[in-house]
Amino acid sequence: MNNIQGKAWKFGDDVDTDAIIPARYLNTSDPLELAKHCMEDADTGFAGKVKAGDIMVAGKNFGCGSSREHAPIAIKAAGVACVIAPTFARIFYRNAFNTGLLILESVEAAAAIEAGHEVAINSTTGTIDDLTSGQRFKAQPIPDFMQKLLDDGGLMEHWRKRLESS
């Protein structure tokens, strides 16, 4: 899934995990159930409006708060293909990788891309193209170790391979 293209949905700084998926829905871990309530308290109806392949563009410290993996799961299950932000909260950052949600760090892209813009992403090179404005951005490279985990198919696949070969 190198190439992603979709519409940008904008959110502010410090979007917390209660905004991404309110705790009142955490009595289940079913991705489709969670997706229905994704971003509900920040943008009512988001789950119904967002289309598969769309992109979330947010401010700093995205995903702060709880360790709930339900947050990246809900975003991914809602159809969002990638989240772009200047910085991510650290537990969310790990969880996104572990659940296979693509996230990219870019101060410039997060600031410049406006709501509704058409955005194309090459996840291999980390290039972000705002097709509406014609601007191009480069995301922070993914740390080597994380890349290795991704290449192995995620954390659990990485361990499965290691445990099998030992």
Partner 1 sequence: MAQTITEKILAFHAGFDEVEPGQLIEAKVDIALANDVTAPIAIAEFEKLGVEKVFDDERVLLIPDHFTPNKDIKSAEQAKILREFAKKQGLKNYFEIGRVGIEHVLLPEQGLVLPGDLIVGADSHTCTYGALGAFATGVGSTDLAAAMATGKVWLKVPETIKVVYHGKLAPWVEGKDLILHTIGILKVDGALYQALEMTGETIDTLPMYGRMSMANMAIEAGAKNGIIAPDEITLDYVRSRAQRDYTLFASDPDAVYCKTIEIDASAIRPQVAYPPLPDKSRSVDQAAADKIEIDQVVIGSCTNGRIEDFRLAASLLKGRKAAPYMRLLIIPGTQDVYRQMIKEGLTEIFLDAEALISPPTCGPCLGGHMGVLAAGERAVATTNRNFVGRMGHPESEVYLSNPAVAAASAILGRIAAPEEVL
Residue 29 engages partner 1 in binding (rule: CB under 8 A): yes
Q: Tell whether residue 163 is a contact of partner 1 (CB under 8 A).
A: yes
Q: Does 106 bind partner 1 (CB under 8 A)?
A: no
The yes or no reply on residue 36 touching partner 1 (CB under 8 A) is no
Q: Considering just the CA atoms, what is the radius of gyration of the chain in Å?
A: 15
Buried-exposed string 60-90: b where 16+ CB fall within 10 A, e elsewhere:
bbbbbbbebbbbbbbbbbbebbbbbbbbbbe
Q: Which stretch binds partner 1 (CB under 8 A): 50-58, 61-69, 75-83, 109-117?
A: 61-69
Give dist(CA 127, CA 165) in Å, integer.
36
Shortest Cβ 79–partner 1 spacing (Å): 20
Question: In the complex, what is the shortest distance from the CB of residue 98 to partner 1, in angstroms, rounded to a whole number?
Answer: 4
How many whole angstroms separate alpha carbon 131 and alpha carbon 124? 18
Can residue 108 be called a binding residue for partner 1 (CB under 8 A)? no
Task: For residue 27, state whether it binds partner 1 (rule: CB under 8 A).
Answer: yes
